[in-house]
Amino acid sequence: MSREIEELQAALRQFAQERGWGPFHTPKNLAAALSVEASELLEHFQWLTDEQSRQLTDEQRQAVGHEIADVLLYLLQLSDKLGIDPLEAARQKMEINAVNYPADRQRGGIRKNT
């Protein structure tokens, strides 16, 4: 695992410990909180056209950045609680996706390859 990820996870553990949040940070609760934060991220794009979503104002970008940070922080806490290296899991998933969605059959398409 990368040093930066480990340091961030340690800082998150300390942050939660200082506030007595440990008992509440179960995998189930962290996964639920992650889902809520992902929904809050989506809320910033609700009702925007595709083009508008590509051209956010500086204020919108900052707000979206804060939501992205919330998603990342909960994801890192969840992976820490479960002992999962998120970078290794991502690498493995990309390998699986490369097999499941070969470029020569998926190019330009959006449907799942079954």
What CATH number does the domain containing 55 carry?
A: 1.10.287.1080
pLDDT in tens, 65-106: 999 999 999 999 999 999 999 999 999 999 999 999 888 887
Query: Is residue 113 included in any domain, yes or no?
Result: no
Count of structural domains, the chain: 1
Q: How much is the pLDDT for 112?
A: 66
Residue 106 sits at φ, ψ, to 5 deg, of: -105, -15
Query: Is residue 74 included in any domain, yes or no?
Result: yes
Nearest to 5 by CA among 75, 63, 61: 75
SS3 55: coil
Q: Model-level pTM?
A: 0.88
CB 30 within 8 A of CB 78: yes
101 DSSP 8-state letter: S
The whole-angstrom separation of Cα 56 and Cα 64 is 9
pLDDT at 37 over 90: yes
Query: Is residue 114 included in any domain, yes or no?
Result: no
